[in-house]
A and B are shown apart, each in its own frame.
Chain A
Amino acid sequence: MARARWNTDVVSAPRRDGDAVIAEARGEIDLQNSSEFRSAVLSMLDGGAAKRLILNLSQVPYMDSSAVAVLVEALQKLRPSGGRVMLVGLQPRVKGLLEIARLDSIFILVASEQQALAF
């Protein structure tokens, strides 16, 4: 999670707060940039220290299933150690996609980062 090597525009450089790693994603995420999104998200979990991934998606108006697959993969990585993926500020289309896929209940959906940290 070295900030000096953080070189993606899809996800901001992550920061730590206790057992949580927090970052903001931005822009539309589809097959064109989902591999970049995947690399960024999974690298935040490297080392195994984080128990909660808090991803602010309030600046993501659209994502497709390739991006949702990344979120599922992150959850798969965290679950064995009791970790969670918390998604902040979902826009309607993104929330709709999670509902269609019946995945809205496996993530913790919150309105703000403060709410996520207090969870």
Chain B
Amino acid sequence: MAEGSGWSLTQQWKITSDPANLRHVRKELEGFAKSIGMADECWQAVGLVVNEALANIIRHGYGGAVDKPILVTAEQGEKELRVVIRDWAKPFDPSAIKRRCEDELKPGGLGLVCIRKLMDDVKFESLPDGMVLRLTKKLA
């Protein structure tokens, strides 16, 4: 549901926390990012990061429950793409999560590494009833 408003385009996805929804949202978001002129490596980064953020919400926030709500909003800015991911899962403090040692051979924690490395700006906001993750990536 893309809406035109001057130079800005917005698209939104309301999904449940079923992993089966992840791929669809990622691909639509990548298509949206391409449509607003994002460079290949940028839309690919956004797709991966949103995939990782949603996976973290599903696994850790909702504990694997498949029927919980997640709202993803993508908005074209003048020179950047902004993505806002809202969930109603148990809030957490991302600064309290130990940063993964990059030489460490362990399976977990890669999602946050991707999020932090690939976006130009990342903001987590705790709300009384969940979390908001605000991601910004320059178009090129």
Say yes or no: A30-B55 contact (C-beta < 8 A), given A68-B110, A69-B108.
Answer: yes
Residues of A within 8 A of B118 (CB): 100
**A64–B55 CB distance below 8 A:** yes
Please, how many residues of chain A have a CB less than 8 angstroms from a CB on the other chain?
22
| A75 contacts across to B, CB distance below 8 A | 105
Do A101 and B110 touch (CB < 8 A)? yes
- Asked whether B19 is an interface residue with its Cβ less than 8 Å from the other chain, the reply is yes
Q: Could you count the A-B residue pairs with CB atoms below 8 Å apart for me: how many are there?
A: 60
Smallest CB gap from A102: residue in B: B102
Asked if A28 is an interface residue, CB under 8 A from chain B, the answer is: yes
Min distance, Cβ A67 to any Cβ of chain B, angstroms: 10
Q: Is A45 an interface residue (CB 8 A)?
A: no
Closest chain B residue to A92, Cβ basis: B44
Is the pair A65, B117 in contact by a Cβ cutoff of 8 Å?
no
Q: How far is the CA of A32 from the CA of B22 in the complex (A)?
A: 7
Q: Does B98 contact A (CB under 8 A)?
A: no
Q: How many angstroms between the C-alpha atoms of A64 and B55 in the bound complex?
A: 9
**Shortest beta-carbon distance, A31 to chain B, in Å?**
4
B-chain residues with CB within 8 Å of residue A64 when the two chains form the complex: 48, 51-52, 55, 111
Bitwise interface map of A from 14 to 56 toward B, beta carbon under 8 Å scored 1, else 0: 0000000000000010111000000000000000000000000
The answer to whether residues A93 and B22 also contact, given A65-B110, A66-B55, A76-B105 and a CB cut-off of 8 A, is no
Q: Does B107 contact A (CB under 8 A)?
A: yes
Interface string of B114-139 (1 = CB under 8 A from A): 10011000000000000000000000
The minimal Cβ–Cβ distance linking B73 to chain A, given in whole angstroms, is 21
Nearest to A68 among chain B residues (CB) is B110
B10 to chain A minimum Cβ distance, whole angstroms, is: 25
* Chain A 67-108 interface 0/1 with B at a Cβ cutoff of 8 Å (1 = within): 011101101100100000000000001001100111000100
Taking Cβ atoms with an 8 Å cutoff, the residues of B that contact A are 19-20, 22-23, 26, 44, 48, 51-52, 55, 58-59, 102-103, 105-108, 110-111, 113-114, 117-118
Binding site for B on A (CB under 8 A): 28, 30-32, 64-66, 68-70, 72-73, 75-76, 79, 93, 96-97, 100-102, 106
- A-B residue pairs in contact (CB < 8 Å), sample of 11: A30-B19, A32-B20, A64-B48, A65-B113, A69-B108, A72-B105, A93-B44, A100-B114, A101-B102, A101-B113, A102-B103
